[in-house]
Amino acid sequence: MNKNTSLDKAQRILQQLRDNFLDELPERCDAIEEGILALAEDREGEHFQRLFREVHSLKGSAGTHGIVAISTICHQLEDGLTTAQATAPHAPERIDLYLRYLDLIHRCIEIARDKRGNYAEIDQALEDIRRHSSPHQLSGLIVENSPAMIALYQGALADQPVQLAVEQDGMVALNRLLHERFDLLIMGAETRTLNGIGVLYALRAANGINRHIEVILVSSSQRQNFAKALAPDVLVPRGPEMIPRLATAVSGIVRRARSGGRRP
Amino acid sequence: MNSNELERILFVEDEADIQAVAQVALEAVGGFTVRICSSGEEALRVAEAFAPQLILSDVMMPDMDGPATLIALRRLPALADTPAIFMTARVLPQEVEQLRACGAMAVIAKPFDPMTLAQQIKDIWGQSHA
């Protein structure tokens, strides 16, 4: 068998595996739904662990089959589950929220079967869920290599009405920025795989949902040369003034968003 | 076959979906002979008889995770020096360094592209056997 024939065969098998995955997905969704509904009575955290494993496993499988939208939904569901488990009980409105994520996964199955490949409505629905579940909060993404710096940022912004997600790898962050809506981005300059400047340029150049969000770049350099259209909105130098300047910059973004000014 | 040419891979992964896709990626696309194990325990049972040239392992697995599996495999005399690659969704620098410190020669990010995974492994193998 020549190489092209062999590759064609491999692609056919991969397509069949993807179809099988989609066929079995409703059953996996049922298991997740049972897990979500059981959270209300989950005194020992046993249901939570099982549910988290199911969601995590689905995230990995969907990514392996190239269905990024389902991975993104699972990622957000994981974030929501983890946050609630650490800080608050899974109240009925949280359970409803988790079930909305599940509805989106069902919708992804339909889109994937349609072979339309257009998941834009899923991005919008994820954004709607976020705004509905946290109407007074903005959504921010911290992209920073150093755990110590991340802890500093989180501490400095703890009082701000901003829900912060964290990524340490530039490419992973860029992927999230292309598929999930954020209101602001806090970038360290040195991140793995793709550095902060690279993420910023790609974000501004791509015609994505976050193209115009406000970006705060934290850098050890006091001055940097940027093409005008690609410059960060705020450059915060590392140093003793870093934390207050970061807090001030984020306060400004929150104020503008609330006054109906530039909506990131 | 060149004695340096990679042929036999022991693949340790607990997720059935990922096993299936990786099998296509490694066998049909890459032309390797692959023994798939669903757990570290299974890998320990079959490794010596299979005599892999390369261990390719997931990191996050129940019971025995990837690093624990690799440490246990390395206690088998026949696998004491067998090169290993981890596959993980967590590719943070300090985590990658920890995995390398366990004896892995490389870390491949998940999700992987099934059409290029084999070449990625061949490249890593080629660099370490140049």
Q: What's residue A5's pLDDT?
A: 79
Q: What is the mean pLDDT of residues A200-224?
A: 86
Question: Which domains can be identified in chain B, with CATH numbers?
Answer: 8-123 (3.40.50.2300)
Centroid of chain to Cα B115: 17
Q: Which range, A84-98, A118-132, A237-251, B11-25, has the best average confidence (pLDDT)?
A: B11-25
Tens of pLDDT, residue by residue over A20-76, are: 999 999 999 999 999 999 988 877 778 888 999 899 889 989 989 988 889 889 988
State whether residue A182 is helix, strand or coil: coil
Residues 6+ apart with CB under 8 A from A150: A142, A144, A166, A168
> For residue A135, is pLDDT > 70?
no
Q: Which of A180-189, A219-228, B93-102 has the lowest mean pLDDT?
A: A219-228
- DSSP-derived letter for residue A185 is E
**Which has more pLDDT, A115 or B58?**
B58
A159 Cβ contact list (under 8 Å, min separation 6): none
Q: Give the minimum alpha-carbon distance from B78 to chain A in angstroms, rounded to a whole number.
A: 32
CATH of domain A3-132: 1.20.120.160
Which CATH superfamily is A137-258 part of?
Response regulator (3.40.50.2300)
Q: How much is the ipTM here? A: 0.85
Domain assignments of chain A as residue spans, ordered by start: 3-132, 137-258
Binning pLDDT at 50, 70 and 90, where does residue B4 land? confident
Q: Is A10 in Cβ contact with B17 (below 8 Å)?
A: no
User: pLDDT-derived band of residue A101, with 50, 70 and 90 as boundaries?
Assistant: very high
Start-end of H helices in chain A: 3-38, 46-64, 68-87, 92-114, 120-133, 147-156, 170-179, 196-205, 242-258
Residues 90-129 of B with CB under 8 A from A: 91-94, 110-112, 114-115
Give percent of chain A above pLDDT 90: 31
Give residue-wise pLDDT tens across range B13-54: 999 999 999 999 999 999 999 999 999 999 999 999 999 999
Q: Are A65 and B29 a contacting pair at CB < 8 A?
A: no
- The confidence band for A163, taking pLDDT boundaries of 50, 70 and 90, is confident
- Identify the pLDDT of residue A43: 72
Distance CA A41, CA A56 (A): 21
Model confidence at B12: pLDDT above 50: yes
SS (H, E, C) chain B: CCCCCCCEEEEECCCHHHHHHHHHHHHHHCCCEEEEECCHHHHHHHHHHHCCCEEEEECCCCCCCHHHHHHHHHCCHHHCCCCEEEEECCCCHHHHHHHHHCCCCEEEECCCCCCCHHHHHHHHHHHHCC
Cβ of A63 within 8 Å of Cβ of B92? The answer is: no
pLDDT band at A263 (very low <50, low <70, confident <90, very high): very low
CB–CB contact A66 B111 (8 Å): yes
Q: 């970006």: which residue's tokens?
A: A215
Nearest-Cα distance to chain B for A256, in Å, is 34
Instruction: Give the whole-angstrom CA distance, residue B28 versus residue A12.
Output: 11
Most confident of A107-116, A153-162, A200-209, B17-26: B17-26
Distance to chain B for A216, nearest Cα, Å? 22
Q: Nearest CA to A185 among A169, A195, A200, A172?
A: A200
From B24, B25, B91, residue closest to A169, measured CB to CB? B91
Q: What residues of B are in contact with residue A147 (Cβ under 8 Å)?
A: 94
Q: How much is the pTM?
A: 0.69
Are B24 and A169 an interchain contact pair (Cβ–Cβ within 8 Å)? Answer: no
Q: Cβ contact (<8 Å) for A65 and B17?
A: yes
User: What's the pLDDT at B51?
Assistant: 97
Within A115-187, residue ranges assigned H as helices are: 120-133, 147-156, 170-179
Q: Which residues contact B114 (CB under 8 A, 6 or more apart)?
A: A10, A14, A64, B21, B22, B24, B25, B29
Query: Quick one: pLDDT at residue B3?
Result: 61
Residue in chain B nearest A172 by alpha carbon: B91
Classify residue B17 by burial, with Cβ atoms within 10 Å: 0-12, 13-18, 19+: buried
User: What's the whole-number mean pLDDT along residues A84-103?
Assistant: 84
Cβ B99 vs Cβ B86: under 8 Å: yes
Residue A261 has pLDDT above 70, yes or no: no
Q: How far apart are the first and last CA of chain B?
A: 16
Answer whether A71 sits within 8 Å of B111, measured CB to CB.
yes
Asked whether the beta carbons of residue A61 and residue B17 sit closer than 8 angstroms, the reply is yes
Q: What is the pLDDT of residues B62-120, one digit of tens each?
A: 889 999 999 999 999 999 999 999 998 766 666 788 889 988 999 998 888 899 999 99
More confident residue, A19 or A116: A19
What pLDDT, on a 0 to 100 scale, did the predictor assign at position A41? 82
Comparing CB atoms, the residue among B21, B29, B110 nearest residue A65 is B21
Which residue is closest to B96 within chain A, CA to CA? Answer: A192
At A129, is the pLDDT very low, low, confident or very high (cuts 50, 70, 90)? confident
Mutate to test the interface with B, among A5, A11, A13 (most CBs of B within 10 A): A13
